[in-house]
Amino acid sequence: MTTYRTLNPEDFALPEWHPYMIGSVIPRPIAWVTTMNKEGQLNLAPFSYFNVFSSKPPVAAFSPSTSARTGNPKDTHLNLLEVPECVINIVPYALAARMNITTGEYERGINEIERAGLETIPSVVVRPPRIAGTPVQMEAKLRQIIPLGENPGAGQLILVEIVRLHLAESILNEKGLPDPRKMDVIARLGGFWYARITPENIFWMKQPRNPAEILAWHELPQDIRESQVFSAADIGHLLAHRPPNAEVLTKLPAPTQPEALHREMKALLPERAEEAWNLYIRTVQSA
C-alpha cells in the first residue's frame, strides 16, 4: 500500500515550502509573457503558475509572486499596472535555453528579448509584441489583479482576457486545430526539471459525453481489469463504450486464452471499441 507523508504549509518557511508546491502540481504550462512599461521599454519573463480558466470569455491567468529575493513586485506585474496589455507566448523546446536567459531578475527596463537574441512580431491589438518562433501567442488585456498576500513569495494573480490568438500554421491539423503532436512545447516540473511534449509521450483518450455510455469499474470483467495487454488509455476506451448488453459482462465465464483475446481486442482500439466488445462477448460465449 502507498504510504503518505502529510505536510502542513504553516510548518514551513517559503524556501523550504516552495519546492513542494512546484513539485506536486506537474506538468505546469509556461506563460512566456511580453509586457511594456509606460516608457515603451519591453520585458519578457516565464511564469509556470499559469493556465486558462474560461473559454468564453477567453481568460488566462498567471501569477508573478512578490520577489523572494528583493520583496518587490516583478517587472511583469509593474508593467501591467502601467500598460494593461501583454502577450502570452507558449515556449517550444527549441527556445528553452533562451527562455532561461529571460528568467534572470534583471533591473527594470532591461530588455530580456534582446538579451536572449529573440525576434519579435508586431501584435495586432495590443502594444507588447509577440515572440517569433513560438507556436502559440495570445494577445491579452488585463482584467483583474488579485493580490494573494503582501509577503515575499505571495502570488499576484493576474487575470487577462485573450483578444487575439495566433497559431503557427505548422502546428495545425487538417481541421485547423492545434495538434499536440506537432507543437514540441515544454512544461515545468519540480526542481529544475521540464517535460517536453512529443508524440512518443502523449496519448489519446476520448472523453465520454453521455453518462449512459460509461461502464462502471466493477462492470468490467476481471480479466480485462487485470490485463497486462491493455494500456490505461485502452481501458479508458473500453469503459467509454458500454456495450448494449453490458449486464452480461460480469456474468460471463473468464476467457480460456485471455491474452490472445485481449491482443485481438487491442488491435481494434481506439476507433472500434464496440467491435472489440462484440468480439469479447462472442468469444467468451462460444467457448
Ligand X SMILES: Cc1cc2nc3c(=O)[nH]c(=O)nc-3n(C[C@H](O)[C@H](O)[C@H](O)COP(=O)(O)O)c2cc1C
Q: Determine if 188 is a binding residue for ligand X (CB under 6 A).
A: yes
Among residues 75 and 85, whose Cβ is nearest to ligand X? 75
Determine the interface stretch with ligand X among 60-68, 120-128, 195-203, 266-274 (rule: CB under 6 A): 60-68
Q: Determine if 30 is a binding residue for ligand X (CB under 6 A).
A: yes
Contacts with ligand X: how many residues (CB under 6 A)? 17
> Which residue type occupies 116?
A
Chain centroid offset of residue 134 CA: 16
Describe the crossing of helices 273-286 and 258-266 by its angle, rounded to 10 degrees.
160
Smallest separation (angstroms) from ligand X to the CB of 48: 4
Smallest separation (angstroms) from ligand X to the CB of 128: 12
Cis before 57 (ω within 30): yes
**Residues of this chain, 82-111, that bind ligand X according to CB under 6 A:** 103-105
Q: Among 36, 42, 61, 64, which residue sits at the site for ligand X (rule: CB under 6 A)?
A: 64
Among residues 104 and 149, whose Cβ is nearest to ligand X? 104
Residues 6+ apart with CB under 8 A from 169: none
Number of residues written out for the chain = 287
The SS3 of residue 211 is helix
Q: Among 36, 47, 139, 284, which residue sits at the site for ligand X (rule: CB under 6 A)?
A: 47
Q: Among 29, 49, 116, 243, which residue sits at the site for ligand X (rule: CB under 6 A)?
A: 49
Smallest separation (angstroms) from ligand X to the CB of 57: 22
User: What's 59-101 look like in SS3?
Assistant: EEEECCECCCCCCCCCHHHHHHHHCCEEEEEECEHHHHHHHHH
Determine the interface stretch with ligand X among 68-76, 166-174, 229-237, 249-257 (rule: CB under 6 A): 68-76
Q: Determine if 158 is a binding residue for ligand X (CB under 6 A).
A: no
Among residues 142 and 229, whose Cβ is nearest to ligand X? 142
Among residues 100 and 245, whose Cβ is nearest to ligand X? 100
> Which residue type occupies 65?
S
Smallest separation (angstroms) from ligand X to the CB of 154: 10
**230 burial type by CB count under 10 A (0-12 exposed, 13-18 middle, 19+ buried):** buried
Q: Determine if 75 is a binding residue for ligand X (CB under 6 A).
A: yes
Q: Is-contact 236 270, C-beta < 8 A? A: no
Name the residue among 139, 182, 147 with its Cα closest to residue 163. Answer: 139
Beta bridge partners of 117: none
Contacting residues toward ligand X, per CB under 6 A: 30, 43, 45-49, 63-65, 74-76, 103-105, 188
